[in-house]
Amino acid sequence: MSDAPSNGTALGPGSHPEIAPSVRLKMYSSMWRARVFEKRVYDLFMSGLVKGTTHLGTGQEAVAAGFSTAMRDDDMVFCTYRGHNHTLLRGAPMDSLMGELLGRESGCCGGKGGSMHLTDVEQHAMGSYAIVGAHLPVAAGAAWASAERGTGQVTACFFGDGTTNIGAFHESLNIAAVWNLPVVYVCENNLYMEYTPISSVTAVPNPAADRAAAYGLEPIIVDGNDVDAVYRTALTALHRARSGGGPSLIEAQTYRHHGHSRADPGKYRPDEEVEAWMRKDPLILYRARLESLGFAASDLDQVEEAARAEIDAATAAAKEAPEPGEAVLMTDLWADGGASWRR
Amino acid sequence: MATLTYREAVARGIAQEMARDERVLLIGEDVAEAGGVFKTTQGLRERFGPRRVRDTPISEEAITGMVMGAAMNGLRPIGEIMFSDFLATCWDIVANQIAKTRYMTGGQIELPLVLRSANGGGARFGGQHSQSVENWAMAIPGLKVVAPSTPVDVVGLMAAAIRDPNPVVFLEHKALFATKGEVPDGELVDTLGRAATVRQGDHATIVALAAMVPKAIEAADLLGREGISADVIDLRTLVPLDVTAVATSVAKTGRLFTVEENPRLCGWGAEVASIVAEECFWDLDGPIVRITTPHIPLPAADAIEDMAIPSVNRVVETVRASMQ
Ligand SMILES: Cc1ncc(C[n+]2csc(CCOP(=O)(O)OP(=O)(O)O)c2C)c(N)n1
Ligand SMILES: [Mg+2]
């Protein structure tokens, strides 16, 4: 993020010069970092070290990679329980995320959040929310404050296809449009809620884009497995929001490689569908594109190696970190640091 | 010194804080142009402008969620939920998001916000516009809960709520809006978590909140003529709860009565009674008695709404019978 192209966010809609090689390499690296992170989380979950639940973003990395690369350093991100990719790529250190997943004191939330609530405010990763739809109005509020304070920040809010059917979606999109808020809503349409295909419970084929007109917004659909396309779409929407053009609603079409959560094998999905989407793995597609653009295979290998080294180090650090002690149980309910309700 | 109505005191408290701190903004349905359906925000839009006092669509999740998001990002917003019954439509945002976020993020996120709402019965509005929901809010870790009974307390506690760095649910009682009281000039800032002893006595402690406070005072005056003198404690805030004030009084009187408008089960008085039973048991000379609305939704017709909500008469009779 720190080397996000400053020219990027200044672009006007439609005016996209070539994406710089350094940006492309960064996005390739981002996707690999997210991929190896989720792979490790899955393994640790299966071996009982990550407890509770996990909702992996494997297969959907291009959305987080494209957006995080297009964002300004102080732009804010709100995401869901399927939020590891977004929190990591917004800048949260891998070891603090892994610490949180392993229930360690070193975790980004000190062990009080867990997989579904990864948050790193310092990096403007403003939280992962586990009640479907709840963070959409919160993101609108953060954007409202940016507008009132004149900070120039844009808020990006990620959610699933299933979220388009809950009331908070409608309330948020409407007020964001009416108040012309600097917020970009991104629906990651992975075709399923938990186990139910979105098409079987939704009145329109494109759950987000087909609703855009209801809020006076343009319908925007992007190939969510093509990181370049996501990046360009993000630049346009961020620029629009930052320059007073109001909110956007983007539907990124993608697919999760795993089941919904935990050890769900996702057997409710037809084999042909899974195979077709596996061939559209965003990492494989991007490697092929980069090689065809003349990137050296050895440079790309190095990116992958670096990601693997990073996750190994983060895992080791998290495993070594102590578990939170009783001393923190009754802290941080209130701003005074405590949890007292009486005098 | 000025005589203000309770509803004017709401606007006065908000205005005091908006004039002092430009990060304070107010949003809600009909709060700006119309000055609020209860006229509690009259004049604020004219004085502070349309950006700081803003009408929203009928979107309770958006109101509460946006107040939360704005509080995360440098504002100290106030959201109005027109009737407290409507909090049920956005209870996820209030109970799961606003209340839990500081704890769940290990203290990373601070939420200096106020949710105001018109609470309580007596206005013949029927079951969906009359409920006292203070016990809903009290049950959620992470929310402070304020429910003042007089204009001067409205101003001072509103200021304290707005300045508090935590989420505060501020319940304004519909039956009190027209009541009047003296309010000193100049800046008023009260303290959350301090009860007020509004009558002094020796034989009984009567603890009340919001619209039950004037009734408890009247009941205490009547009981006094019969030789039963009572402390009347106006809790003013439920969270933080002023246990010390209650315990000190019970140590003196030996008897505890609560007067609660919320429905019976898990009303705030149940918590007060349990604390006193546990911590002040040896001070008690008789049973703790709770006087509450029955465990029913409030009916609309005058005759039966008045039977449901604790009345002066019910307080007098219950205390008298229990003290014999
Ligand atoms: C209000 C609410 N209802 C139900 C759930 C249970 N639940 C968790 S994830 C999920 C599916 C959400 O689907 P979608 O929005 O498409 O996101 P995805 O998991 O595919 O990323 C459901 C129903 C919940 N967390 N919150
Ligand atoms: Mg989905």
Please indicate whether residue B129 is annotated as part of the active site: yes
Torsion, Cα A106 A112 A117 A118, to 10 degrees, reads -10
Q: How many CA atoms lie within 13 A of B197 on its CB side?
A: 16
Q: List phi, psi (to 5°) of A321.
A: -70, 145
The residues spanned by each domain of chain B are 2-183, 196-323
Torsion, Cα A103 A108 A112 A117, to 10 degrees, reads -100
Q: List phi, psi (to 5°) of B275.
A: -65, -45
Instruction: Return the pLDDT at A63.
Output: 99
Residues, chain A, total? Answer: 343
Type and span of the H or E element at B205: strand B204-208
Instruction: Return the pLDDT at A16.
Output: 58
Closest atom of ligand 1 relative to the A134 alpha carbon: 1
Asked whether the beta carbons of residue A333 and residue B103 sit closer than 8 angstroms, the reply is yes
Instruction: Return the pLDDT at B37.
Output: 97
User: Taking 60 as the threshold, does the pLDDT of residue A10 lie above it?
Assistant: no
Which residue in B276, B298, B279, B295 sits closest to B287, CA to CA?
Answer: B276
The b/e string for B154-181 (b: 16+ C-beta within 10 A; e otherwise) is: bbbbbbbbbbbebbbbbbbbbbbbebeb
Which residue in A223, A233, A229 sits closest to A280, CA to CA?
Answer: A223
Beta bridge partners of A158: A186
| Residue whose CB lies within 8 A of the most ligand 1 atoms, among A53, A55, A132, A187, for a mutation test | A132
Per-residue CA distances from B120 to B27, B133, B173, B311 (Å)? 22, 8, 6, 14
User: Taking 90 as the threshold, does the pLDDT of residue B182 lie above it?
Assistant: yes
Please determine whether the domains at B2-183 and B196-323 fall in the same fold group of CATH.
yes
CB atoms within 10 A of CB B257: 26
User: Taking 80 as the threshold, does the pLDDT of residue A313 lie above it?
Assistant: yes
CA A114 to chain centre: 16
Instruction: Return the pLDDT at A7.
Output: 36
- Chain position carrying tokens 């190939």: A223
A190 lines ligand 1 (CB under 6 A): yes
Q: Which amino acid is at B193?
A: G
Which residues in chain A are contacts of B92 at CB distance < 8 A?
A: 131, 134, 168
Q: How many whole angstroms from A342 Cα to the centroid of ligand 2?
A: 43
User: Taking 60 as the threshold, does the pLDDT of residue A9 lie above it?
Assistant: no
Q: What is the mean pLDDT of residues B209-214?
A: 98
Which residue in B238, B69, B241, B213 sits closest to A176, CA to CA?
Answer: B69
Identify from B27, B52, B73, B233 which residue to disrupt to test chain A contact, counting A C-beta atoms within 10 A and taking the largest count: B73
CATH class for domain B196-323? Answer: alpha beta
Nearest ligand to the CA of A158 is 1
User: In this prediction, does ipTM exceed 0.95?
Assistant: yes
Q: What is the mean pLDDT of residues B92-104?
A: 98
The DSSP string of A51-70 is: -S-----TT-HHHHHHHHHH
User: Taking 80 as the threshold, does the pLDDT of residue B101 lie above it?
Assistant: yes
Query: Model confidence over B54-74: pLDDT tens digits?
Result: 999 999 999 999 999 999 999
B3 in contact with A at a CB cutoff of 8 Å? no
A160 lines ligand 1 (CB under 6 A): yes
Instruction: Return the pLDDT at A8.
Output: 37
Residue A27 in domain:
yes
User: Taking 60 as the threshold, does the pLDDT of residue A323 lie above it?
Assistant: yes
Interface of A with B in 69-108 (CB under 8 A): 76, 107-108
Catalytic residue among B129, B173, B203, B295: B129
Q: Which amino acid is at A105?
A: E
State which residues form the domain around A171: 10-260+278-323
- Chain position carrying tokens 């790193």: A120
Instruction: Return the pLDDT at A3.
Output: 35
Query: Which DSSP category does A47 fall into?
Result: T
CA B242 to chain centre: 14
Q: What is the mean pLDDT of residues A199-226?
A: 98
Which residues in chain B are contacts of A138 at CB distance < 8 A?
A: 65-66, 68-69, 72, 93, 97
The b/e string for B107-146 (b: 16+ C-beta within 10 A; e otherwise) is: bbbbbbbbbbbbbbbbbebeeebbbbbbbbbbebebbbbb
A130 lines ligand 1 (CB under 6 A): yes
Residues 6 or more apart in contact with residue B317 via CB below 8 angstroms: none
The DSSP string of A69-127 is: HHS-TT-EEEEESS-HHHHHHHT--HHHHHHHHTT-TTSTTTTSS-GGG--BGGGTEEE
**pLDDT band for position A14 (50/70/90)?**
very low
A224 lines ligand 1 (CB under 6 A): no
Q: How does strand A248-253 pair with strand A183-189?
A: parallel
Type and span of the H or E element at A299: helix A297-320
Query: Model confidence over A105-143: pLDDT tens digits?
Result: 999 999 999 999 999 999 999 999 999 999 999 999 999
A8 lines ligand 1 (CB under 6 A): no
Question: What mean pLDDT is reported for chain B?
Answer: 98
Mapped to the 3 state alphabet, what secondary structure does B242-295 carry? CHHHHHHHHHHHCCEEEEEEEECCCCHHHHHHHHHHHHCHHHCCCCCEEEEECC
**pLDDT band for position A4 (50/70/90)?**
very low
| Domain B2-183 annotated CATH 3.40.50.970 | yes
- Chain position carrying tokens 């296809």: A161
Query: Closest to A141 (Cβ–Cβ): which among B69, B142, B164?
Result: B69
Q: What is the strand order of the sheet B204-208 is part of?
A: B196-199, B230-234, B204-208, B256-263, B289-293
The b/e string for A137-159 (b: 16+ C-beta within 10 A; e otherwise) is: bbbbbbbbbbbbeeeebbbbbbb
B163 in contact with A at a CB cutoff of 8 Å? no
Q: What is the mean pLDDT of residues A277-283?
A: 98
CB atoms within 10 A of CB A31: 28
Region of residue A87 (left: phi > 0; alpha: psi -120 to 50; beta: else): alpha
Which residues in chain A are contacts of B70 at CB distance < 8 A?
A: 141-142, 144-145, 148
Percent of chain A with pLDDT over 70: 95
Q: What is the mean pLDDT of residues B151-158?
A: 99
A192 lines ligand 1 (CB under 6 A): yes
Query: DSSP H helical segments within B35-99, as ranges?
Result: 44-48, 60-72, 91
Q: Which residue of chain A is at minimal alpha-carbon distance from B242?
A: A343
* Rounded-to-integer distance, Cα B110 and Cα B142, Å: 11
Question: What mean pLDDT is reported for chain A?
Answer: 95
Q: What is the mean pLDDT of residues A47-59?
A: 97
User: Taking 60 as the threshold, does the pLDDT of residue A150 lie above it?
Assistant: yes
Which residue in B313, B29, B4 sits closest to B178, CA to CA?
Answer: B4
What tokens appear for B305 in the block?
């709404």
Asked whether the beta carbons of residue B97 and residue A143 sit closer than 8 angstroms, the reply is no
> What CATH number has the domain bearing residue A65?
3.40.50.970
